[in-house]
Amino acid sequence: MSRSDSRATLLELAAALACVAVLGWSPHPLVDLAAAAPLVVYLPGRAVLRALDADPEGRLERASVTVALSLALVIVSGLLLNLADSITRQGFLLLLGAIACAASIVALARAPRAAAPAAPEAPRAQRATAWAANLTMATLAVALAGAAVALAVVLNLDRRDFVTTQLWVVPKQGDAEAVVIGLRNAEAGAERYAIEVLVDHSLVQSWSDVPLKPGETWTTTFRWAGLGKYPRPVQPLKEGARGQGAPLATVSERVGLGAAPRVEALVYRSEDRSSVYRRAWTAPQCALGDDTHGRPPCVF
């Protein structure tokens, strides 16, 4: 490595450290982009080429190989980070920065042994040197591609599909006194569920065994009229009736006032009836306590 190459390697090492520092503490997305671009498309590949002493002949070839090698290193880094469950901004930042810095240090460590001026090479020797460099780069590219494919296969074999159980409680259209309770098995295998229905926090109905295969759905219509703490006294709608005491509202009137009861569904899995697996409920349109969430208070 010549003295000019050593200076260039030092500059690239400093640039890699600067990019890592900027990306670690940058307050603006445009600054992030400016610092990330060289760390992704140039610096890692350039540092590895210098460390291997495998620079291709010609500026165009050198630039093309540098960019291709940098992108290959980014892909392999992503696979490694995903395998380690650390595929985050900080993970990419640290790994790419470490590759660029470590390769630059290796290139600088090789410099003293290559500092002595060499005699001009014969054309055949030059061709042999270029062929060796190209062979090294081709071998490295194949190795990186093979590593990426192997990691992708391993990750695909170890991939776990997202599984869940969906539960919903929604008002029934056209019937203000009923709700629809639904359960869908999106797990990997068949499941058996137990379901409990509460009205105003009181248990009113239950199903002890609901078997569902993957993709199957269970629904039922539940009428809450007459259950729970209803009817309740509400303030009269007319001003003249205040002195006569608060009348009882019918179910339909109560729904119109936004004071429908809280209907809650609890789901348990067959292998563990001691803990609630899924929970869903209807929220009244008015607030029954201090937890208003922007809703008007219920007036009873």
DSSP 61-84: HHHHHHHHHHHHHHHHHHHHHHHT
Write down the pTM of the prediction.
0.43
pLDDT, one tens digit per residue, over 16-64 is 888 888 888 876 788 888 888 888 888 888 888 888 877 777 788 788 8
Q: Give the strand pairing for 263-269 and 278-281.
A: antiparallel
Secondary structure tally for the chain: helices H, strands E: 7, 7
**What are the structure tokens assigned to 164, written together?**
């869940």
Checking if the pLDDT of 160 tops 80, the result is: no
Domain that residue 174 falls in: 164-281
pLDDT, one tens digit per residue, over 180-206 is 999 999 988 899 999 999 987 888 899
> Given the structure tokens 């409680």, which residue do they identify?
169
pLDDT, position 144: 67
Q: Are residues 50 and 170 in the same domain?
A: no
Question: What does R_g of the chain's alpha carbons equal in angstroms?
Answer: 35
Domain membership flag for residue 296: no
Q: Are residues 175 and 150 in the same domain?
A: no
Q: Rounded CA gap, 45 and 99, in Å?
A: 9
Q: Are residues 31 and 133 in the same domain?
A: yes
Q: Rounded CA gap, 77 and 40, in Å?
A: 11
| pLDDT, mean of residues 223-240 | 55
CB atoms within 10 A of CB 22: 15
The beta-strand segments (E) located in the chain are 164-171, 178-186, 191-199, 202-212, 217-223, 263-269, 278-281
pLDDT, one tens digit per residue, over 270-296 is 888 888 999 998 865 555 556 555 555
Give the pLDDT band (50/70/90) at residue 92: confident
Q: Are residues 136 and 189 in the same domain?
A: no
pLDDT, position 228: 59
Q: Are residues 179 and 257 in the same domain?
A: yes
Domain membership flag for residue 74: yes
Q: Rounded CA gap, 64 and 72, in Å?
A: 12
Count: domains in the chain: 2
| C-alpha 136 chain-centroid distance | 38
pLDDT, position 285: 56
Q: Rounded CA gap, 234 and 241, in Å?
A: 12
Q: Are residues 138 and 268 in the same domain?
A: no
Name every residue whose Cβ is closer than 8 Å to that of residue 253 and which is 6 or more positions away in sequence. 234
